[in-house]
Amino acid sequence: MAARGSKPLVALIGTLDTKQAEYQFATSWLEKHNCNVVVLDASTRSPFEGPLSFDLGASSKLHRPKDLLGTHAFAEDAERSKVRELLREACLDELTSLQARGELNSIASFGGSQDTAFATSIMRSPTFSIGLPKHLWLYERYHAHDTTIRPGSHLRNGAKQDKSSSPAEEKDHKPMIAISMFGVTTVAVNQISDLLKERGYEPVAFHATGSGGRSIERLIREGFFASVVDLTTTEVCDHLYNGVLSAGPDRLTAAAECGVPQVVSVGALDMINFGSLSSLPSRIKLQNSKDDGPMHYTEDGTPVYEHNSQVTLVRTSAAQCKEIGEYIVGKLTTGLSRLQKGGNAAPVRILFPREGLSAMDGAEGVWNNPEARTALHGSIREALKSKASQSNLQSPVTIEAFEHHINSAEFAMIVADQAAQLVSK
């Protein structure tokens, strides 16, 4: 590696396939403030080429996944868990080499559960000397205003590491649109966010991890948003079936009750989130298997996916999807009470992607289940009809299905167009 003079060197560990913009921001800020940066891209999605473009100073460096894996034998079609372990070893090798040469001053990472588990497994290595600063930022640990309403400030504070000065408030008067996301809907959210920005809006992403859902509901009530794109409603599954990421019974109520227009979809309603595989509730009984891969099955054949050592996902069944659909309609139609009291109920457009609800679902997913998707769509449609007939009023909630996957470019365009239409009305 080229000599870096007397500038401190910060190593950033993360997944650029889902968080390139965030790592680019942190890298640029660190370089601007007299640091060199080594970015270790631990993305596990084939073909492991890394980002097409990433701006770096002359003395900083990006290690793409293929660069890191070059010293390790691996197959492009290997299980992600296997590739991730090889990337962990490769990142550890690179950081150990930097420290041995006396060049490493700090290690940092930020992200969700996957990045956290990966980065901390490296940071805890006895290889690194006591006193070497190791920083990890989790969106759950920050107040919602810091994480989402001022995302640039959040990343800048992280890049500053432990400096006490706080940044000046940034003024931005663009209409803000809340958007819910999860790792398995990140592709969709990135596309929708870019399209909304092109239309002059400021998308604000919330991770659907329980705390994120509670934050989005509270901030809607506080009047922060012109509209809501509730793409990823997965917290409902955890609320109904005792998963670990429930946002509670008030999820999906604030926008309707406050008259905020919203586009709603069914992102990640194909899964219930639990902790480690060994922590699954006793009612979920796994088949005995000698396979050490991430995919498991319950005794009744339900797919169970070990996402990492701390996160296990259970596929929702057709029967559960029917219940989920009915529950969601019950929450979204609370706005009907406004009509009955003479007020104006905000429009709610439910957009349903028939070809898949997440990166796990669909023709190329690990647990494609058309029957469950059909049950979910039918349940929502029938529940809406029932609610409308009971109220004798025209419902502000509509549903439309599309022959696209939730992460497709076509569906992203539809969502962005509908969201922009609602704001402009």
Domain ranges of the chain: 9-160, 176-274+314-424
Residue 72: the pLDDT is: 58
Preceding omega of 47 cis (within 30 degrees of 0)? yes
Mean pLDDT of 407-421: 97
Mean pLDDT of 389-409: 89
Q: What does the pLDDT look like over 18-58, one tens digit per residue?
A: 788 788 888 888 988 889 999 999 887 765 566 667 888 88
Q: What does the pLDDT look like over 57-110, one tens digit per residue?
A: 888 899 888 888 875 555 555 677 778 888 999 999 999 999 999 999 999 988
Q: Is the pLDDT confidence value at 146 over 70?
A: no
- Considering the four listed CATH numbers 3.40.50.1220, 3.10.450.50, 3.40.50.150, 3.40.50.12020, the one that applies to the domain covering 9-160 is 3.40.50.12020
**Which residues in 66-170 belong to E strands, given as ranges?**
106-111, 134-138
Mean pLDDT of 311-316: 96
Q: What does the pLDDT look like over 322-378, one tens digit per residue?
A: 999 999 999 998 766 655 566 678 899 999 999 999 999 999 999 999 999 999 999
Q: CA quadruple 215, 218, 223, 228: dihedral positive or negative?
A: positive
Domains 9-160 and 176-274+314-424 share a fold: yes
Residue 12: the pLDDT is: 94
- Alpha carbon 11 to chain centroid distance? 23
Classify 176-274+314-424 by CATH class: alpha beta
Is residue 181 a contact partner of residue 229, using CB atoms and an 8 Å limit?
no
Residue 117: the pLDDT is: 78
Q: What does the pLDDT look like over 243-283, one tens digit per residue?
A: 999 999 999 999 998 999 999 999 999 999 999 999 999 99
Which of 100, 99, 139 minimizes the C-alpha distance to 116?
139
Q: Note the pTM of the prediction, 2 decimals.
A: 0.69
Spatial neighbors of 407 by CB under 8 A, at least 6 apart, are: 185, 187, 188, 356, 358, 359
- Look at 137-146, 175-184, 235-244 and tell me which has the smallest mean pLDDT: 137-146
Q: What does the pLDDT look like over 155-171, one tens digit per residue?
A: 555 555 433 322 333 44
Share the mean pLDDT of the chain. 84
Residue 132: the pLDDT is: 86
Return the higher-pLDDT residue of 425 and 177: 177
State what percent of residues in the chain have pLDDT above 90: 51
Q: CA quadruple 156, 39, 208, 418: dihedral positive or negative?
A: positive
Residue 344: the pLDDT is: 72
Q: pLDDT band at 236, cuts 50/70/90?
A: very high
Residue 23 CB neighbours (<10 A): 25
